Amino acid sequence: MEIKEIIVVEGKDDTVAIKRAVNADTIETNGSAISAEVLTRIRHAQEKRGVIVMTDPDYPGRRIRAIIEEHIPGVKHAFLDKRDSIAKNGKGLGIEHASDEAIRACLKNVYTMTDTTFQSTISKEWLIQEKLIGHPSSKRRRELLGAYLQIGYTNGKQLEKRLRMFQIDEALFIEALQHVNQEEHS
């Protein structure tokens, strides 16, 4: 599988994992303190070939995504599910621990957060009703929802925004909820 865009990752081990799974070029941020020089390289890559941001499914990874999105709107995002990024010994989390298959699947489902005019019909009340916010099982249900929709894990405050950003419509949301309910009861 060849990727036209340049993939932004956090470090060298992530680059090794990406290149093991697909034919692609990468830019490494070297952690969550992204320098102006790295942002300039990402901006240039976006202008020339496009960029896919693929960071670890943790707080620093989300922070990196937010910084890049703020400075370079229109980049694409690929979200690796947390379950697919846990080290075999259980003591690490990151792209470098993902299987080649998980990386390829993640890169087949990229999103662009550009259309701010999209009006979502998915309300906070609906999220509460579906036990995605304010319920003891909410975190697990959001994990399942994020994995199914390939939008990554979010906390309760971020969920409504993420659904709008990725233009998740009512039909897809209902389909995802059915999947979440099946997974929860199996």
Cα 33 from Cα 38, distance rounded (Å): 10
Residues 6+ apart with CB under 8 A from 85: 56, 57, 93, 94, 95, 97, 98, 102
Q: Residue 117's pLDDT is what? A: 56
Q: Residue 113's pLDDT is what? A: 64
Q: Residue 178's pLDDT is what? A: 95
Residues 6+ apart with CB under 8 A from 135: 128, 141
- Calculate the dihedral angle through the C-alpha atoms of 112, 118, 140, 180, rounding to the nearest 10 degrees: -100
Q: Residue 151's pLDDT is what? A: 81
Identify which of 184, 186, 176 has the alpha carbon closest to the alpha carbon of residue 126: 176
Q: Residue 114's pLDDT is what? A: 54
DSSP 108-146: HSEEE---TT------HHHHHHTTSSSSTTHHHHHHHHH
Cα 125 from Cα 19, distance rounded (Å): 43
- In the β-sheet with 6-9, what is the strand arrangement from edge to edge? 26-28, 6-9, 51-53, 76-78, 110-112
Cα 99 from Cα 107, distance rounded (Å): 13
Cα 165 from Cα 117, distance rounded (Å): 9
Q: What is the mean pLDDT of each run of 10 residues along the chain (186 residues)?
A: 93 95 94 89 94 91 89 89 83 90 89 62 90 93 88 84 82 93 87
Supply the pTM of this predicted model: 0.70
Q: Residue 118's pLDDT is what? A: 59
Domains of the chain: 6-112 (3.40.1360.10), 124-184 (no CATH)
